[in-house]
Structure 1
C-alpha cells in the first residue's frame, strides 16, 4: 500500500534514535538489568517477528566429515512492511552479546556514529581511521603548521 514503506522508515528512524539515546546513557560501563525497562520498544518490535527455524542442507558438510549434513537455519516471513525491521534483532544481539563498557562514541566533531572497541588496549577513538581519524589528524597537522607559521611571522 502507498505510504507503508514511509511508515516503516519512520519507525526505523525512531528506533534508531531511541537506541542511540539508550547507548549514550549506558555506554562505557557494564549494562545493568535495570536498563531492561528502557528497552521496551525494542522488545515490542522483536515480538512482531514472523521468524521460525527450519532444517536445511549444510553445504559446508565437507568441513565436518563426521558431522551431520544438515543445518538449522532461521527463516523469516515478510508478510507486511512492519516485519521489514530485522534491525531489531541486530540491536538485541548487540545488547546481549557485547560488553557495554566497550561501546564508545566517535570523537569526530561532526560524527554521530558509535562503535564497539575490540582493540587490545581499548584505545580506539574514531568510528573509522580512514574517515574521522584521518580528518582529525589533518586538522591537528594544520593547527601545528599554523602555530609554527604564526610564531615565525611574529
Structure 2
C-alpha cells in the first residue's frame, strides 16, 4: 500500500503470470437484451466468455483482477478499510482521496450505528446524572 512497484517485481509475479497463461477465453457476438437494444445502433454486443476445463482455471478471473490492479492503479491510492473488523483493501478514487471505508452500505453503516449508540448512551447517562 502506498508505494509503487519496482520494475524488478516482475520476477515475483511469475506465479501470477503462469495462471494467466492458462486462460481459454474467447468472445461471441450476442443480441442485447430488449431494454438495452434501444441504446445500441446494432442491437448486438461482444461478450467475453471462458471455458472452464479444470478447477485450476477458476483462479484465472482472480488473477486477471490482480494483474489489472498491479498494472493500472497507483498504489498510493490503495487503502485499508477503517471498519471495526474489516480486513478489506480498496482503491480510493474520490476527489480528495479521503475515503475511509470499503463500502458505505456495510462498514459505513456500522460506523454510523456505533456513533449513534454512543451518542444515545451518553445522552442517557447525562440525563440520569441530572435526575
Moved more, 142-151 or 71-80: 71-80
Q: Residue 114 of structure 1 aligns with which residue?
A: 89
State the number of aligned residues. 123
Shift of 1:140: 1.6
Distance in 1 of aligned mates of 2:58 and 2:105: 31
Shift >4 Å, 4+ stretches = 54-60, 62-65, 71-75
DSSP 3-state at the match of 1:148? helix
Distance in 1 of aligned mates of 2:49 and 2:113: 47
Shift of 1:64: 7.2
- 1:21-32 equivalences in 2 (<5 Å): 27-32=1-6
TM-score of the superposed pair, with normalisation by structure 1 = 0.61
What residue ranges of structure 2 are gaps of 5+ in the alignment? none
- 1:1-154 equivalences in 2 (<5 Å): 27-51=1-25, 74=48, 76-85=50-59, 86-152=61-127, 153=129
CA offsets, 1:40-75, max 9 Å, x none?
A: 3312211222335x6858978x9679xxxxx98655
Shift of 1:105: 1.5
Where is the helix percentage greater, Structure 1 or Structure 2?
A: 1
CA offsets, 1:78-117, max 9 Å, x none?
A: 3222222222112211211111111111111111222111
